[in-house]
Amino acid sequence: ADKNSFGESISFEELTAKICNAVAKGLQKLGIPAQFRPRNDIEVEGRKISGTGGVFEGKAFLYQGTILMDFNVERMLKSLQIPVEKLTSKGIKSAEDRVEWVKRYLGRMPEKEEVFSAILEGLSEELGIQYQWGELTEEEKRLLEERKEYYRSPEWVYEVKRSSSEPELLFGIYRCLGGTFRVSAKVDPDRKLLEQVIINGDFFVEPKRLIYDLEAYLKHTPLQDVERRIREFFKDRQWEGLNLTVDDIVSAVMFPLTKMEGLELGMEKKT
């Protein structure tokens, strides 16, 4: 769509919030209490039900997302070739606690037309837009025929998929008075960016969703800003941790990231 439809000065963060709030409202119409969770998730009572993302290109933008309708966590972990220890009942439970899906929450699988209708209503009400069903125009069909061979070619497919470098997967175990943290981090070494972090372990925090919200908040954070963003996340936030402090959580997340310095110096990565 045209970015100017939402105001010339709108930022990508503001646009993300608008669209995610609209989709969350659509899910609410299905009876699911969905909410937007920065930076770009839609969650239900702390569990992620939708991941989204997009890009600006001049005055235009493309924004897309998925909604988890049904889910088999064990199959997902095996498909992603997760280490064997994560396939224990405890590892599977940890993965299930992070996500929600429509069928589980509603106790039924709604027809796709019901879902489409609810999401469109949410988008229409929140964004102030009108919608109508339609087919591809003749011009769109012509462009499709003209370009489809290019878009299915290896040059296009692999250039899009190939990043400047392979992401680094870093892991660290941090122990403190409050318990043990097991932290996995996915890092883009060229851009020095924390793409994603997963925090597991044996420790107690309340509310239980606190760690999941922190993981979402840290996505796509420059490495030099990680500590600042963790402290920013906890500022004025009400939470409790048994023998835990914000400094402990900062140290736990930063621990695997320190391995990047060694990798840049040519040291071999240790698991």
Q: Which residues, given as ranges, of the chain have pLDDT below 70?
A: 81-88, 160-165, 262-271
Residue 39, preceding bond cis, omega within 30 degrees? Answer: yes
Q: What's residue 271's pLDDT?
A: 47
Statement to judge: residues 209 and 102 lie in one domain = no
Last residue of some domain: 127, 152, 180?
127
* Beta partners for residue 175, in sequence order: 180
Total domain count for the chain?
3
**CB burial of residue 238 (10 Å; 0-12, 13-18, 19+):** exposed
CATH code of the domain in which 56 resides: 3.30.930.10
Q: What is the distance between the alpha carbons of residues 19 and 38, in angstroms, rounded to a whole number? A: 12
- Whole-number Å distance between alpha carbons of 40 and 52: 6
Token readout for 174 is 């941090």
In this predicted structure, what is the pLDDT of residue 7? Answer: 84
Residues 228 and 208 in one domain: yes
Same domain for 11 and 116, yes or no, is yes
Q: Does one domain contain both 109 and 186?
A: no
- Residue 161 is predicted with a pLDDT of 56
Instruction: Give the residue from 134, 138, 162, 173 showing the smallest Cα distance to 251.
Output: 173
Same domain, 156 and 192: no
Cβ–Cβ under 8 Å, residues 229 and 252: no
Q: What is the pLDDT of residue 57?
A: 83
pLDDT at 43: 97
Predicted model pTM = 0.79
Structural domain harbouring 144: 135-163
Task: Indicate whether 86 and 113 sit together in one domain.
Answer: yes
- Asked if residue 269 belongs to a domain, the reply is no
What count of Cα atoms within 13 Å lies in the side-chain half-sphere of residue 54?
Answer: 25
**148 falls within a domain:** yes
Residue 271 included in any domain = no
